Structure 1
Amino acid sequence: MTYGAKIIAQALHDLDVKIIFGLPGLPVTDIAQEGLNLGIRFVSFRNEQAAVYAATAYGYLTGKPGVCISVGGPGVFHVMAGIPHAAANSWPLLVLSGSSETHNLGKGAFQEVDAISLLSPHAKLAVRPGGPEHIPRFIKDAYRAAYFGRPGPAFVDLPANLILGTFDVERQKLSPLTEAPCSVAPENKIRDIMDAFKTAKAPLVVIGKGAAYARAEQQITNLINRTGLPFVPTPMGKGVVPDSSPFNVSAARSTALKEADVILVLGAKLNWILAFGLPPKWSSNAKIIQVDISAEELGKNGGHSSLSVVGDVALVVDQLVSHLGDWRWQAQPTSFHRNLEAAKSRNEEKAAKKAAIDTMPIKYERAYDII
Structure 2
Amino acid sequence: MNTKVKEENGRELKVENQQMSGSSMLIQALAREKVDVIFGYPGGAILPTYDEIYRTGIRHILARHEQGAIHAAEGYARVSGKPGVCVVTSGPGATNVITGIADAMIDSLPLVVITGQVATSVIGTDAFQEADIIGVTMPITKHNFQVRNVNDLPNIIKESFHIATSGRPGPVLIDLPKDVSIAIGEFNYDEPLDLPGYQPTKIPNRLQIRKLAEAVAKAKKPVILTGAGILHAGGSEEVLEFAENQQIPVASTLLGLGAFPGDHEQFLGMGGMHGTYSANMALHEADLLINIGARFDDRLTGRLDAFAPYATIAHIDIDPAEIGKNVETHIPIVGDAKEAMRMLNEEAKTNCECGDWKETIKEWKAEYPLWYTEDDELLKPQRLIEMIYEETNGDAIITTDVGQHQMWSAQFYKFPKPNQWVTSGGLGTMGFGFPSAIGAQFAEPDKTVVAVVGDAGFQMTAQELSILQELNLPVKIIIVNNASLGMVRQWQQLFYEERYSNSLFPIQPDFVKLADAYNVKGWKIEDPAEMQDILKEALAYDGPVLLDCRVHKVENVYPMIAPGKGHHEMEGIKP
Match of 2:377 among 355, 360, 363: 360
Length-normalised TM-score, structure 1: 0.89
Deviation, structure 1 residue 197: 0.9
How far does residue 331 in structure 1 lie from its aligned partner after superposition? 2.9
In the alignment, the residues of structure 2 paired with residue 172 and residue 318 of structure 1 have an alpha-carbon distance, to the nearest angstrom, of 38
**SS at 2:186 equivalent:** coil
Quick one: structure 1 residues 63 and 175, their matched pair in 2 at CA, closer, same or farther if it must change by over 3 Å?
A: farther
**In 1: Cα distance, 2:139 partner to 2:260 partner:** 36
Q: Distance in 1 between matches of 2:57 and 2:208?
A: 47
- After superposition, the C-alpha distances for 1:171-207 in whole angstroms (9 at most, x for unaligned) are 2124699xx9772222222221111011111101001
Deviation digits for residues 19-40 of structure 1 (CA, Å, limit 9, x no counterpart): 2110122232442442465463
2:255 alignment partner, SS class: helix
- Of 255, 269, 272, the match for 2:281: 255
Tell me which residue corresponds to 1:330: 353
Of the three residues 169, 176, 184, the one matched with 1:158 is 176
- Aligned residue type for 2:187: R
Q: 2:256 aligns with which of 227, 237, 241?
A: 237
Task: Quote the residue 2:364 is aligned against.
Answer: 343
Separation (CA, whole Å) in 2 of partners of 1:32 and 1:221: 45
Q: What amino acid is the match of 1:319?
A: M
Deviations 1:85-116 (A, max 9, x none): 11100111111111111112333322111211
1:31-180 matches, within 5 Å, as 31-35=49-53, 37-38=55-56, 40-163=58-181, 165-167=182-184, 169-174=185-190
CA contact (8 A) 1:68 1:96 kept: yes
Identical-residue share of aligned pairs (%) = 29
SS of 1:170's partner is strand
1:308 is paired with a residue of what secondary structure? strand
User: Within 5 A, what are the aligned runs for 1:271-310?
Assistant: 271-275=297-301, 278-283=304-309, 285-305=310-330, 307-310=331-334
- Quickly say closer, same or farther: Cα 1:17–1:78, change in 2 above 3 A: same
- The separation in 2 between residues aligned to 1:166 and 1:311, in whole angstroms, is 41
- 2:339 corresponds to which residue? 315
Structure 1 stretches of 5 or more lacking a match?
none
Answer whether contact 2:288 2:311 (CA < 8 A) is retained.
yes
**3-state SS of 2:306 partner:** coil
Q: Please, which moves more after superposition, 138-147 or 40-49?
A: 138-147
Q: In structure 2, how many angstroms separate the alpha carbons of the residues matched to 1:365 and 1:142?
A: 42
1:210 pairs with 2:261: no
**Secondary structure in 2 aligned to 1:249?**
strand
1:200 and 2:224 are equivalent in the alignment? no
Give the whole-Å Cα distance in 1 for the aligned partners of 2:171 and 2:89. Answer: 17
Q: 1:65·1:143 contact (CA, 8 Å) conserved in 2?
A: yes
Q: Give the AA of the match of 1:27.
A: A
Distance 2:192 2:111 in 1: 16
Q: Please tell me the residue identity of whatever aligns with 1:299.
A: G
- C-alpha root-mean-square deviation of aligned residues, in Å? 2.3
Q: Cα offset for 1:53?
A: 1.1
CA contact 1:21–1:67 (8 Å) conserved in 2? yes
Q: Secondary structure at the match of 1:90?
A: coil
Distance 2:41 2:34 in 1: 21
- Structure 1 residues 135 and 211: alpha-carbon distance in aligned structure 2, compared to 1, 3 A threshold: same
Q: Could you say if the C-alpha distance between residues 36 and 19 of structure 1 is closer, same or farther in structure 2, counting changes exceeding 3 Å?
A: farther
3-state SS of 1:232 partner: strand
Show CA shifts across 1:65-87 (max 9, x none).
Answer: 21111011100110111111111
| Alpha-carbon distance between aligned partners in 1 of 2:34 and 2:200, rounded to the nearest angstrom | 17
Per mean C-alpha deviation after superposition, the further-off stretch among 36-45 and 307-316 is 36-45
Q: Give 1:246's aligned residue.
A: 265
CA distance in 2: counterparts of 1:214 and 1:181, whole angstroms? 13
Q: How many residues align?
A: 358
Contact (CA 8 Å) 1:14, 1:174: kept in 2 or not? no
- Find the aligned partners of 1:74 and 1:57 in 2 and give their Cα distance: 22
TM-score of the superposed pair, with normalisation by structure 2: 0.59
Q: What is the one-letter code of the residue matched to 1:255?
A: M
TM-superposed deviation, 1:210: 1.1
Distance apart, 1:343 and its partner CA: 1.9
SS in 1 for 2:96: helix
Supply the distance in 2 between the matched residues of 1:21 and 1:289 (Cα, whole angstroms). 39
- Residue 505 of structure 2: aligned partner: none
- Counterparts of 2:111 and 2:254, CA distance in 1: 22
How many angstroms does 1:223 deviate by? 1.0
Query: Post-superposition shift, 1:141?
Result: 2.4
Q: How far apart are residue 340 of structure 1 and its match?
A: 1.9
Change (3 A) 1:166 1:279: closer
Q: For the Cα contact (< 8 Å) 1:105–1:112, is it kept in 2?
A: yes
Preserved contact between residue 292 and residue 298 of structure 1 (Cα < 8 Å): yes
Matched residue, 1:228:
247
2:220 touches 2:353 (CA, 8 Å); kept in 1?
Answer: no
Q: Is the 8 A contact 1:20 1:32 kept in 2?
A: no
Return the alpha-carbon distance in structure 2 between the equivalents of residues 176 and 248 of structure 1: 44
Q: Does the CA-based 8 Å contact 2:74-2:111 persist in structure 1?
A: yes
1:308 and 1:271, CA in 2 relative to 1: closer, same or farther beyond 3 A?
same
Greater shift in the superposed pair: 205-214 or 144-153: 144-153
Which deviates further from its counterpart, 241-250 or 203-212?
241-250
Residues 317-368 of structure 1 deviation map (CA, whole Å, 9 limit, x = unaligned) = 111111233x323332x2x3343223212212x62xx36x133222123334
Aligned-partner Cα distance in 2 for 1:139–1:6: 12
C-alpha separation in 2, matches of 1:277 and 1:265? 18
